[in-house]
Amino acid sequence: MSLKKTLTIAGSDASGGAGLEADLKTFQEHGTYGMAAVTVIATMDPDNNWSHGVYTLPIDVLKAQLKTTFSTGIDALKTGMLSTEEVIKTSGEAIKTSGVQNVVIDPVMVCKGEDEVLNPGNVDAMITYLLPLALVTTPNLFEAGQLAGMKTPKNIDEMKEAAEKIHALGAKNIVIKGGRSIDPTKAFDLYYDGEKHYLLETPKIDTSYNHGAGCTFAAAVTANLANGLDVKAAVIEAKEFVAAAITHGWKLNKFVGPVMHGAKGVYGAPEITVTEI
Ligand code: PXL
């Protein structure tokens, strides 16, 4: 038996809910073989209100991991937290050289709960080295605004405008994760395939235990592409997968509540409404 090979180029979240930990759990749930090239290690300090430490690994350590993983023949990959311009450039160049087509760029710019952008030059580096390689990119509202050179979108029309601008930068498919910020009664995402816009909707899930949702969504898209789904089907299943994971989010400690990555397999998933708009 041979498994589809999925790679995450991402940070480690020592608390296990986001980052490559989320990605590998999600790859496993989708029946793919997961690999990781670690860019940074993120830690959280329980004695200082869970404030984050971000430890970037030496660039040679990243290069060595990229060499290892790409040598195996990757079916699909995603990127997550890439903390410096050098990490972004190194990752982008390795992806380009590998020739892998199923590339999902999750343009992580900040840790949830932290409001400082990791490094101000990162947005330009993502535009130069990553977006042109993206079969799919999955920004949240803030990230979409940064990439599009706009203020953070506040409504569906602004989400559409941002998606079109990001498409013009070379990403082929864009999913902007609106979450609950646009309409508190519903969770909206916008999917733009370069021609049509679709609204993906789930009823509001009443929980604040959603740490790792963004990484889990992008990882599910990646695994689905590796398994041969087309982009639209990959995105819709990923939305089901993460909606189930958020529905069953849980309290790890007084600071953080991760999603339950494997919830869809155990409990099933809520219905997703897809409407062309
Ligand atoms: O959710 C964004 C994210 C991505 N990657 C790592 C993280 C986080 C947030 O905590 O720690 C490694």
Q: For the segment 13-66, what is each residue's pLDDT rounded down to a tens digit? A: 999 999 999 999 999 999 999 999 999 999 999 999 999 999 999 999 999 999
Question: What separation in Å is there between the alpha carbon of 255 and the centre of ligand 1?
Answer: 15
Residues 133-137: what's their mean pLDDT?
A: 98
Confidence at residue 3, expressed as pLDDT on a 0 to 100 scale: 97
pLDDT at 179 over 90: no
Tokens encoding 218: 């992008």
| 177 bridge partner residues | 140, 189
216 C-alpha to ligand 1 centroid (Å):
11
Write down the pLDDT at residue 116. Answer: 61
pLDDT at position 111, please? 67
Residues near 94 by Cβ (< 8 Å), separated by ≥ 6?
Answer: 63, 66, 70
Residue 175 has pLDDT above 80, yes or no: yes
In whole angstroms, give the CA distance from residue 202 to residue 168.
Answer: 28
Q: What would the mean pLDDT of 114-142 be, rounded to a whole number?
A: 90
**Does the C-beta of 139 come closer than 6 Å to ligand 1?**
no
Within 13 Å and on the Cβ side, how many CA atoms surround 193?
Answer: 13
Residue 180 has pLDDT above 90, yes or no: no
CA 67 to CA 54: how far, in whole Å? 24
Taking the CA of residue 11 as reference, the ligand 1 atom at the shortest distance is 12
Read off the pLDDT of residues 224-234 as tens digits, 9 standing for 90 and up.
Answer: 999 999 999 99
Residue of 108, 143, 217, 246 to mutate, ligand 1, most atoms within 8 A of C-beta:
108
User: Is the CB–ligand 1 distance for residue 11 below 6 Å?
Assistant: yes
For ligand 1, say whether the CB of 108 is within 6 Å of any of its atoms: yes
State whether the beta carbon of 42 lies less than 6 angstroms from ligand 1: yes
- For residue 264, give both structure tokens: 């869809």
| pLDDT number for residue 113 | 52
What's the rounded mean pLDDT across residues 183-188? Answer: 80
pLDDT for the residue 87: 98
Would you say residue 130 has pLDDT above 90? yes
pLDDT score, position 260:
98
CA 241 to ligand 1 centroid distance, Å: 19
Give the sign of the dihedral formed by CA 74, CA 79, CA 83, CA 87: positive
Tally of CB atoms within 10 A around 271: 9
44 CB within 6 A, ligand 1: no
Say if ligand 1 is within 6 A of residue 18 CB.
yes
Pairing relationship of beta strands 136-137 and 103-105 according to DSSP bridges: parallel
Task: Give the distance (Å) from ligand 1 centre to CA of residue 18.
Answer: 5
* Residue pLDDT, tens place only, 68-126: 999 999 999 999 999 999 999 999 999 999 999 999 999 999 765 555 667 879 999 99
**pLDDT tens string 224-267:** 999 999 999 999 999 999 999 999 999 999 999 999 999 999 99
Nearest-atom index, ligand 1, CA of 110: 2
Ligand 1 mean position, distance from CA 1 (Å): 33
* Ligand 1 atom showing the smallest separation from residue 20 Cα: 12
Per-chain mean pLDDT for the chain: 95
Gap from CA of 248 to ligand 1 centroid (Å): 19
User: What pLDDT does 114 receive?
Assistant: 55
